Structure formats: C-alpha cells, structure tokens
Chains A and B, each alone.
Chain A
Amino acid sequence: MRYILRRLGFFIVTLWAAMTVNFFLPRLMPGNPATAMIARFHGRLSGQSLRAMEVAFGVNTQQSLVSQYFAYLGNSFTGQFGRSLTFFPDTVAQVVFQALPWTLGLVGVTTVIAFIVGTLIGMVGAWGRGGWFDSILPPIFIVLSAFPYFWIALVFILVFSITLGWLPLGFGYTNGQAMTLTWAFAWDVIQHAILPAFTIILTSIGGWILTMRNNMIMTLNEDYVRMARAKGLSPARIMFDYAGRNAILPNLSGFGMSLGFVVSGAILVEYVFSYPGVGYMMLQSVLNEDYPLMQTLFLFITVAVLLAILAVDGVTVLLDPRTRGSG
C-alpha cells in the first residue's frame, strides 16, 4: 500500500513540475514571446478572460510573480486553460478533448501491442539463445528502432498509399463522412489508423526486445531456474512462470521512460499522417504561436503518461509480491 502511496506522491510532484515549467518558460525567454500573442487576443477577448491569459503568460500585469503563479496553478486545476488562437472561439479545453481520443486510441493500442510482442520476442530469443530466431528478429528490430519514426511513416506513405494505393494518405477518417457509430465508419477509422499504428509498433518494439532479452539471460542463470529444471517442470512453465515473470519486472519499471519516447515519436507520426490527435494539434499550435493550446497539450500529454505509469505500477504490484510488503 505504501508503495502505491509513494507513487501517487510522485505523480503529484511531477505534475507540479510540468506546470511550473509551463509557467516559467515564456517568462525566461528573452523578450517574452507571449507578448505578441496576447496582442493578437486584444479586440477578440475582453475583461476577465483576457486578464486570465495575461496572468498565465506574465504579460502587462501588475500582479507579483508569486500571485501570478498561484493564480495560474488555480486556473489549471479548475480546467480554465483559456482560449485557443487557432480554433478561436473554442476554448483550449474543447480542442484538447477533441484530439485526446484519437491519440489515446492510437498510442495506447500500439504501445500495448509493442510491449507484449517485444517482450515475447525478447523472452523466446533469450530462451533459444544463439538459435535462428535469436539471430534474426532481435537484431532487425534493434536496427529498426534507430530509424526516425517519421521517416518510416514517409516510406509507408510512399509504398502503401502513393505507389500501391491500398491505404489512405492521412487524416483520421475520410473527410466529410459523418462521425457515427456504424461499422462503415469504424472500418474507415481502422483503415486510416493502420499505417500510423504499424509505424509506431515497428520502431518501438526494439527497445522492449533488447531489455527483455538481457534481463531474461540474466534470470536464466539464477539458481531457482536450475532448480525448476531439476524438478522436471515443463519448459513452457519455466520460461513463463519462473524466468519470464522475474525478467519482466525491470521492463515494467522502464515503461515510464519508454512511454515518453513512444509519445514523442507518435507526435511526429501524427504530423506526417495529419492524424487529428494531440501531437498534430500541438504542432499546429506551434506553427500558429498558439501558446495556450501548446502548453495545455503538453500538460495533458504529461498527465496521460503519468496515468499509464500508475497503471503499470498496479501491474507491478500484482506480479511482484515484494512491493506489497510494508517496505
């Protein structure tokens, strides 16, 4: 229990750090780049909303830095992120919640698939070490993981969309189609997701393979694995229940760091495919100097990553009895 509480504490500290970074970055830059942006809001916004925006970015406000900071934190926790310049009358929160499901679907599904497949390949590779399986798959995927995500995306578009014409060029669904809960629409969405999904899976699988394979090789040398062999247990049981279950633990705790890596790649993949998710929105906001949207997206990406890490912590507690103790 204490383990989970400690992780929750870490969650809050990290969230606070991300907000603080958001608050201080525009203020630290020479000549506060947000000044020009706020000027564009004049005439469109007035009164309280304009003032809230000025406090958030530290532009012509008389308040002290400390009171600005707490006003900003308060606004963030109550979901007042201001308005988006790019999608003007819409609030930032509306824009973010439109984009979030697309990214959660794409990145969530691909990360889980990559993790499971990568861990399995690493496990089987280490089990039959030096064999044909181990000499082919792990090296291929490790080299693939050194390719830039967005470049693989470009090559996929070239081959499957432009040359072969099998799959759509980009975007989340066929333009103009009504977003309804029908099979036709679902199929349309899946077709659009295939190329981005494969891009992310192919390039992120290598990291899981490498760490799992190394962990597994170390675990297979342990005495309890030898003991299991001596007892005459079936190879599958030894591989999964004895070696695999222990070898997967460092992989799980490395999940947080890898997830940040996957999210980073996914942003570029969304950009290449014009996929209407958080990453694409973020780059749009950068191009339009839409700082409120940009900062809020960063905050939401951080929260999503933190939630995923908490979920993984839960799995760790299930797999590793040591974390359940009072330690």
Chain B
Amino acid sequence: MSAPATTGRPTRRGPPGLRSAGTLGRAILSNRKALAGAILLGICIVMAIIPGVIAPGDPNAEAFMPGQGPSTANWLGTTSYGQDIFAQFIWGARASLVIAVAAGLLSTMISALIGVGAGYLGGTTDSLLSLITDVFLVIPAFPLVVIIAAYSKTGGNTMIIAVLVATGWSYGARQLRAQVLSLRHREFLTAARLRGERSWRIIIAEILPNMTSLLVANFLGASVYAILTAAGLQFLGLGNVNTPSWGTMLYWAQNNEALQAGIPLWAIAPGVGIATLGGAFALLNYAFDEISNPVLRPVRKRRARRTP
C-alpha cells in the first residue's frame, strides 16, 4: 500500500495535471515504471478476455495423464487430476481481474463518499465518520474477512467482493478526507458557496475533479489489496473451489502437496499470475505518484553538491 503524498499540494481549479487521456497516455509512456505496469496489466487483460482462444477447452477437464512435467501437449505439465496447468493458468486470470477491478472501484466509491462527506460537512458528522474510519482501519482485515467467509458458506466471487469492499475502504477514506480538508477554504469553493450552489453540486463539480489523481491512486491501491486478499481467501478454500482462479489453483496444489509430489509448476504458475497482476497495479501506483506529484518525479542527475 502506498501513501501518495499528494495531500496539501497546491491545486488549481479544474482537473489538475491530467487534462485529457492524451496527456495521461504520454505520461505513462514516458515513465518506465508506468510502462512496465501497463504492459503487465495488458497481458492480464488479454488473458481475461479471450482465454478460449489461447487455451481452448474446459480448463477443469481431467483429460490428460496426471502429474506430468512440461511437454509439447501440456506446456506447464498436468495436475494430480490430469488437468492442463497452462489452461488453468490462462482461465484463472478472469476471476482475479474482475475481483480486483470491481472491489477496487466499489471501495474507492465508498471511500470517496465517506471521506469527502466527512471532510466537507465537518462538525459532528466529521468526528463520527472519522472515528468509524479509524476503527475500520485498525481492526485487522484479513482475520475479519476469514471469519465472515467462514460464517457465510455460500462462497462465490460476489461474497468475496462484498467482504473485500467492507474491509478495504477505510484507508482511502482517510486520505480523501485529508485532501478535502486542505481544499475546503480555497477561494473557488467559497465562490461556489456564495453563488448559492448546493452542497452536492459543490462536491461533485468542484471538489471531486480536484481529487482525480488521489482517486486513481486509491483505486490502484484498493485493487492490489483486493488481488492479494482474494487470492489468500481462495487459497484457504474459502471461496468457490470449483471456479477457475489463481487462488483456487493454489488451494488444490497445496491440498495435493504439489511441491512434494514433483509438480511445483502447479503452485508456481498461479503465483506468478497473481504477482503479475498485483505487480502491474503496484507499479502503476508507484508511477502515478510520480506523474501526479512533480516533486517525486525522478531527477536525471543530482544538482551539483551543495557543500561549498
């Protein structure tokens, strides 16, 4: 999780920095970390959209000799059940990507609602919302997620997304609140209030556009959290263990002692997948800090030594 140090940065009226998709595209291309992240994410997206083209057939079909090493027919070998590991790997991308994006978007929305609400409304509302945020921030999320998953045995990706959102919104809410507090007394907001604009219009049209970069950073951070936590839950068997995903692959690999049984690729491949997707979001986040905050941009060379 990163803490984009954008808070307190002088902000002009209107969307800062990123005026159009073109500017964003150029910024990503010119930043090596962003480029690496975008490429990794692109690979995952392709796997998630057209798994049937890359690896045709049912990934769970037990159609091969079990426990084989890599061969021309099965590039990554086969599982103890005779499934093709490569096919499972390709098909697993979709679940992880959907969970990451859905949970990331939803938690960012809740963060924005609570964080901006608290910061803008102030007073008792702020105290109460901030207290709730802090409590959620401190209660260890994963044990809580495990408990909820253990009680609601229905499983499935919807349950996982709901639990991830419930436990993942607080970090962003806190940051957004801080940003709103720093914006609250700017002239353009006073002007809007004097014009007689309604609160919700001020929030949507004046405040939110000024926080675009923080919202994006939040989405990226929340997505990394969702990817890793969902993988952990699925690895423990606390999701639906029959839907193809990288986490459930690891669950079956662990239950069949894939490492000891000489088919380590069964456990390594899904981990590489999770790391690729998580790494893509993490790199984009790291780069986004630099794109949105000029102070953090890489310097080519340190200015000449200051010591006289």
**A221: B residues at CB distance < 8 A:** 295
Give residues of chain B (251-308) contacting chain A, Cβ–Cβ below 8 Å. 254, 259-260, 264, 267-268, 270-271, 274-275, 278-279, 281-283, 286, 289, 295-296, 298-302, 306-307
The answer to whether B134 touches A154 (Cβ under 8 A) is no
Choose one: A29, A129, A148, A261; the contact of B299 (CB below 8 Å): A129
Quote the shortest CB–CB distance from B143 to chain A (angstroms): 5
The reply on A143 being an interface residue by CB < 8 A is: yes
What residues of chain A lie closer than 8 Å to B281, measured between beta carbons?
146
Chain A interface mostly helix, strand, loop or mixed? helix
Check: A151 CB closer than 8 A to any chain B CB: yes
Find out whether the CB atom of B147 lies under 8 angstroms from the CB atom of A295. yes
Contact count band on B: 35 or more
CA distance A22 to B3 in the complex (A): 30
- Chain B residues contacting A301 (CB-CB under 8 Å) are 140, 143
**Interface stretch (choices B22-30, B104-112, B227-235):** B227-235
Q: Specify which of A130, A158, A289 is in contact with B302 (CB 8 Å cutoff).
A: A130
> Nearest A residue to B238 by beta-carbon distance?
A286
Residue in A148, A286, A306 with the greatest tally of chain B CB atoms within 10 Å: A148
Contact indicator A25/B232 (Cβ below 8 Å) = no
Given contacts A214-B289, A256-B137, A286-B236, 13 further A-B contacts (CB under 8 A): A10-B131, A26-B151, A143-B275, A145-B282, A150-B232, A154-B259, A158-B264, A210-B3, A232-B307, A260-B139, A294-B150, A298-B143, A302-B143
Query: Does B207 sit within 8 A of A, measured CB to CB?
Result: no
Q: Does B135 contact A (CB under 8 A)?
A: yes
Asked whether, in the complex, the Cβ of A142 is within 8 Å of the Cβ of B286, the reply is: yes
Docked-complex contact A264 and B229, CB < 8 angstroms: yes
Q: Is A151 touching B275 in the complex (CB atoms < 8 A)?
A: yes
Q: By the criterion CB–CB under 8 Å, are B279 and A143 in contact?
A: yes
Give the residue of B2, B142, B147, B235 whose beta carbon is less than 8 angstroms from that of A264.
B142
Interface contact A283-B236, CB-CB below 8 Å: yes
**B184 on interface, CB distance cutoff 8 Å:** no
Encode contact with B along A8-43: 1 for CB under 8 Å, 0 otherwise.
001001100110010001100100010000000000
Measured CB to CB, the closest approach of chain B to A300, in angstroms, equals 10
Which DSSP category, helix, strand, loop or mixed, fits chain B's interface?
A: helix
Distance between Cα atoms of A17 and B81 in the complex (Å): 45
| Beta-carbon contacts under 8 Å, A206-243 to B | 207, 210-211, 214-215, 217-218, 221, 229, 232
B203 contacts partner chain A, Cβ-Cβ < 8 Å:
no
Which residues of B are found within 8 Å of A291, using beta-carbon distances? 150
Whether the pair A130, B298 counts as a contact (CB closer than 8 A) is yes
Instruction: Report B-chain residues with C-beta under 8 Å of the C-beta of A108.
Output: none
| Interfacial chain A residues near B139, Cβ < 8 Å | 14, 17-18, 21, 260, 302, 305
Task: Report how far A103 CA is from B283 CA in the complex, Å.
Answer: 31
Residues B260 and A151 in contact, CB atoms below 8 Å apart? no
5 closest residue pairs by CB, A with B: A264-B142, A151-B271, A146-B278, A146-B282, A146-B279
Contacts of A265 on B, CB cut-off 8 Å? 142
A-B residue pair count with CB separations less than 8 angstroms:
178
B1, B254, B268 — which one has the most chain A CB atoms within 10 A of its CB? B1
Q: In the complex, what distance in Å separates the CA atom of A29 from the CA atom of B231?
A: 23
Q: In the bound complex, how far is the Cα of B250 from the Cα of A272, in angstroms?
A: 11
A–B pairs, 22, beta carbons within 8 Å: A17-B139, A21-B144, A25-B147, A25-B148, A129-B298, A139-B286, A143-B282, A146-B275, A146-B278, A147-B271, A149-B232, A151-B271, A157-B259, A210-B286, A214-B2, A214-B4, A260-B142, A264-B140, A264-B142, A264-B143, A283-B146, A286-B238
B250 contacts which chain A residues (CB < 8 A)?
150-151, 154
Within 8 A of B (CB), among A285-304: 286, 289, 291, 294-295, 297-298, 301-302
Chain A count of residues within 8 A CB distance of the other chain: 68
Known A131-B302, A260-B138; contact A297-B143, beta-carbon cutoff 8 A: yes
B193 interface residue per 8 A CB criterion: no
Residue of B2, B135, B260, B271 near A207 (CB, 8 A) is B2
Quick check: is A69 within 8 A (CB to CB) of the other chain? no
Closest to A154 in B: B267
Smallest CB gap from A130: residue in B: B299
Q: Looking at A268, A291, A294, which has the most chain B CB atoms within 10 Å of its CB?
A: A268
How distant is the Cα of A266 from the Cα of B102 in the complex, in angstroms?
26
Cβ of A250 under 8 Å from chain B: yes
In the bound assembly, the distance between CA atoms of A256 and B296 in angstroms comes to 25
| Chain A residue at minimal CB-CB distance from B264 | A158
Q: In whole angstroms, how far apart are the Cα atoms of A261 and B275 in the complex?
A: 17
Contact assessment for A150 and B235 in the assembled complex, using a CB-CB cutoff below 8 Å: yes
Query: Within 8 Å of chain A (Cβ to Cβ): is B50?
Result: no
Contacts of A271 in B (CB 8 A): 236
Of chain A, the residue at the smallest CB distance from B146 is A286
Contact across chains for B5 and A218 when beta carbons are under 8 A apart: yes
- A263 CB, min distance to chain B CBs, angstroms: 5
CB within 8 Å of A: which B109-151 residues: 131, 134-135, 137-144, 146-148, 150-151
Taken together as a complex, chains A and B put the C-alpha atoms of A210 and B306 apart, in Å, by: 26
B171 A257 Cβ-Cβ under 8 A: yes
For B5, what are the chain A residues with a Cβ–Cβ distance below 8 Å? 214-215, 218
For the complex, give the distance between the alpha carbons of A272 and B298 in Å: 39
Q: Which of B151, B236, B264 has the most CB of A within 10 A?
A: B151
Name A268's contact: one of B1, B235, B267, B271 (CB within 8 Å).
B235
Which A residues lie within 8 Å of B302 (CB)? 128-131
Q: What separation, in Å, do the CA atoms of A18 and B278 have in the docked complex?
A: 29
In the docked arrangement, what's the CA distance between A268 and B250, Å? 12
For residue A127, which residue of chain B has the nearest CB?
Answer: B302
A272's closest neighbor in chain B, by CB?
A: B254
Chain A positions within 8 Å of B300 at CB level:
130
Is there a chain B Cβ closer than 8 Å to A155's Cβ? yes
A76 at interface by CB-CB < 8 Å: no
Residues of A within 8 A of B13 (CB): none
